[in-house]
């Protein structure tokens, strides 16, 4: 059994303490679908992470290959990153049996997958962080073995399933239009005049994978074309926006919607040749061309870089 280690001057109290071991790890927290955030190493609350965390770095990959007669080896036809699992060993403890049970139950109640997906957040000492959507899968079924539990302590290995293999970086928000600040882009602010290019700039995606933007367009405008000139892809809005209209074009995978004023489906008003493109890793040359604009016209851009590691 591992040596019991505790912070100086504190103790979970009672007999038969949990087999805790020192762990050096940045701050890791769990936010459930109801918005409750739990720090996963919280001595005062009665639980701490243990050594043996897995799943914070690269995901697994599926490779699709073809074999040909009389040709050695295989031809790689494609690959994809798999959904990942994150494994978190934890110890629960209390000053007595009742205290231990109350603490453990309060924590485990946040893991109910029927509530919907939650979020794991890893924060570094400098305040930077990355997040990943996750569901609890297994590990807290209850093990009363001699080396895994006592009268008022228990160790568990929690497994979370993450539908996306990518960790998300901090959100990026940018604005184009009259009075837009957009300090990220030295070409801004851009003053909008009737029928002109609203903005042309370079967006640097620091992530390891493509990042999918959400565009919020405030009218008026008689037409809108938003292009990634680096890839040659664009999407066009063919219907006019009034001065009070707000159109949100969400390019994210498994979402991909165009909604006017939060209620009306505007997908039919995207040109047939439209492609809801993403930012590739590195620099992307982007242009926003709007006609029929006034000084009230603006475009907002929101996205999150995606990373292979936490």
Tell me how far CA of residue 196 lies from CA of 186, 188, 225, 288, in angstroms: 19, 15, 11, 9
pTM for this model (two decimals): 0.83
Q: What is the pLDDT of residue 105?
A: 96
Q: Which of 301, 81, 87 is nearest to 180 (CA)?
A: 301
**Number of Cα atoms under 13 Å in the Cβ half of residue 3:** 4
pLDDT at 201: 84
What are the mean pLDDT values of the chain's consecutive 10-residue runs (310 residues total)? 42 50 79 96 91 94 93 94 96 93 96 96 94 97 84 94 97 78 33 50 94 97 95 96 97 96 98 97 94 90 97
pLDDT value, residue 241: 97
Q: How far is CA 35 from CA 29, 32, 107, 136, 160, in A?
A: 12, 5, 14, 15, 17
Report residue 245 as tokens: 């209209």
Q: How far apart are CA 302 and CA 252, in angstroms?
A: 11
Q: Which two tokens stand for residue 99?
A: 């205290």
Please report the pLDDT score of residue 295 as a whole number.
86
Residues in a beta bridge with 63: 79
């Amino acid at each position: 059994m591992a040596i019991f280690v505790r912070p100086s001057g504190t103790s979970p109290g009672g007999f038969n303490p949990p087999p805790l071991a020192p762990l050096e790890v940045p701050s890791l927290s769990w936010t459930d679908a109801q918005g409750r955030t739990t720090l996963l190493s919280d001595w005062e609350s009665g639980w701490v992470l243990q050594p043996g965390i897995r799943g914070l770095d690269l995901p697994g990959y599926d490779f699709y290959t073809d074999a040909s007669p009389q040709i050695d080896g295989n031809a790689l036809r494609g690959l994809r990153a798999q959904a990942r699992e994150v494994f978190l060993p934890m110890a629960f403890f209390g000053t007595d049996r009742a205290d231990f049970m109350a603490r453990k139950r309060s924590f485990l109640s946040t893991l109910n997958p029927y509530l919907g997906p939650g979020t794991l957040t890893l924060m570094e000492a400098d305040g930077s962080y990355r997040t990943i959507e996750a569901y609890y899968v297994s590990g807290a079924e209850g093990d009363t073995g001699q080396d895994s539990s006592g009268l008022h302590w228990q160790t568990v290995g929690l497994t979370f399933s993450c539908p996306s293999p990518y960790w998300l970086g901090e959100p990026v928000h940018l604005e184009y239009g009259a009075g837009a600040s957009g300090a990220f882009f030295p070409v801004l602010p851009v003053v909008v005049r009737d029928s002109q290019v609203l903005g042309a700039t370079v967006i640097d995606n620091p992530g390891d994978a493509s990042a999918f933007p959400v565009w919020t367009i405030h009218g008026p405008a008689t037409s809108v074309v938003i292009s990634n000139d680096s890839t040659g892809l664009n999407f066009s809005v063919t219907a006019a926006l009034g001065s009070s209209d707000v159109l949100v074009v969400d390019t994210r995978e498994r979402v991909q919607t165009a909604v006017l004023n939060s209620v009306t489906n505007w997908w039919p008003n995207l040109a047939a040749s439209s492609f809801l493109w993403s930012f590739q890793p590195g620099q992307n040359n982007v242009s926003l061309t709007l006609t029929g604009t006034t000084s009230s016209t603006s475009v907002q851009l929101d996205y999150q870089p995606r990373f292979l590691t936490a």
